[in-house]
Structure 1
Amino acid sequence: MEILTILESLEDLIEKSSGVPFSGKCLVDREEVLEIVKEMRLKLPDDIKQAKWIKEERQKILLEAQKEANNILKDAENKIASLVDEHEITKKAYEQSNEIVSSAQKNAREIRLGAREYADSVLNKVEEILTDATDVIKTNRKELK
């Protein structure tokens, strides 16, 4: 993500700045800091759009998984209906349909959990970046005052 690169450049600027004796403060070039903050503002919408896209993709994946599960269930029901005539075949069909349904539900659950974890991970990372950026901006504003 580009925002991480920008944050690293801000961090480098602060680390390379001259320190104020007998305090934990440093002197930074106001123009450089403001330029980095401006660049961060320009890049943040891209990261937010990416997070929104990930959320939408997660929804699509969940819907596709549900459709696939429904299709598998319908296929299983159709197969059962065609095999009802013979008892032994019917018994076997019920077993297979239960396995198919169980497998479809398991696959749908795994896909759903994976999509949620991925979306949560990305949104968490974006939240961390935004929090870090906000903290840096607040700190810089305090130092500028």
Structure 2
Amino acid sequence: MEKTEVNIIELLEYLEELIETAPKVPITGKSVVDKKEFLEVIDQVINYLPDQLKKAQWVMTEKDRILGDAQKEYESTKSEILEMMKQKVENHDVVKEAKIRANEIIALAQRDAKAIRIGSREYSTEILSQLDREIEEKRNILIENMQKSFEIAAKEIDEKLSSTGSKIKENISELRGM
């Protein structure tokens, strides 16, 4: 405890002792205390209090400021991450490759459709089967590539949010240490 706190506590204990040891007025249960002495002790307590109140107010203000800063940092980081994710998804090589592959598959399908119309039933069945295998393989590759890319993006987001969470915890620890 600080000296000020000890002095206030000692003064309040002294006031309590004055009341407890004061002579009692019969029947009423009231006590008679030395008004002058009692008021002097109260004045001493009042003289100590303003510094403590200012310090407590400062601590509360700092706590609110630090928490406010942490909340702003969190919101800012969250917005940045969402924007980054949106851009990565839109501009990601996997998405671009998917569009190219889709166009290739469409072109291949159109070519094969023409061959099917011209060719026989067996030839048509063979081409459709081959096309199905190719599409399935390319679809699996595309899905695998997209999953890997999204896992990387999710990991980056997790790391960024973890970093922000750590900063918030540090601020909380800093507040508790005050």
Which TM bucket (shorter chain)? Answer: 0.5 to 0.7
Displacement, 1:51? 6.8
Query: Residue 96 of structure 1 corresponds to which residue in structure 2?
Result: 130
Displacement, 1:70? 2.1
Query: Residue 30 of structure 1 corresponds to which residue in structure 2?
Result: none
Query: Residue 77 of structure 1 corresponds to which residue in structure 2?
Result: 109
Query: Residue 155 of structure 2 corresponds to which residue in structure 1?
Result: 121
Q: How does 1:22-33 map to 2 (within 5 A)?
A: none
Query: Residue 142 of structure 1 corresponds to which residue in structure 2?
Result: 176
% identity of equivalent residues: 9
Displacement, 1:56? 1.4
Letter matched to residue 104 of structure 1: K
Unaligned runs of 5+ in 2: 1-68
Q: Which stretch of structure 1 is more off in the superposition, 61-70 or 132-141?
A: 61-70
Query: Residue 32 of structure 1 corresponds to which residue in structure 2?
Result: none
Structure 2 counterpart of 1:63, from 82, 95, 117: 95
Displacement, 1:116? 1.3
Question: Are the aligned partners of 1:51 and 1:122 in contact in 2 as well (CA < 8 Å)?
Answer: no
TM-score w.r.t. structure 1 length?
Answer: 0.57
Count of aligned pairs: 104
TM-score w.r.t. structure 2 length?
Answer: 0.48
Alpha-carbon RMSD: 3.0
Distance in 2, Cα, partners of 1:51 & 1:121: 13
Larger Cα-atom Rg: 2
Query: Residue 22 of structure 1 corresponds to which residue in structure 2?
Result: none
Question: Are the aligned partners of 1:79 and 1:93 in contact in 2 as well (CA < 8 Å)?
Answer: no
Query: Residue 86 of structure 1 corresponds to which residue in structure 2?
Result: 119
